[in-house]
Amino acid sequence: SYILTQSPSVTVAPGQTASISCGGNNLGAKSVHWYQLKPGQAPLLVVFDDSDRPSGVPERFSGSNSGNTATLTIRWVEAEDEADYYCQVWDSTSDHPDVVFGGGTKLTVL
């Protein structure tokens, strides 16, 4: 089965830029989606199809995907951005597509 690898944690100061990476074999050939998960809340889709942003998500959130790495970038980080972030792909290489999540990255805002 397909595996997505994320660093466990990222720490940034308010106003700085956070980069959260997601690694996978030939990941650039897949569409990557990113979710924000805060305690007691439902996951929130913040980037889909590598770099598109759902309506209502601040422009500070952006994404890219190339080679074996996808990246979620959060500019001008705010305290409210502190959360766990998960990447996800739809692995359709087998006869039954699997939903695959990365292990998650905890973003801490100092």
DSSP annotation string for 2-51: ---EE-SEEEE-TTS-EEEEEE-TTGGGS--EEEEE-TTS--EEEEBTTT
Stretch that binds other proteins, among 18-26, 61-69, 70-78, 82-90 (CB under 8 A): 82-90
- As given in the structure block, the two tokens for residue 48 are 């889909």
Among 14, 76, 98, 110, binds other proteins (CB under 8 A): 98
Tell me: does residue 57 bind other proteins (CB under 8 A).
no
Q: Which residues bind other proteins (CB under 8 A)?
A: 1, 31, 33, 35, 37, 41-45, 48-49, 54, 84, 86, 88-90, 92, 96-104
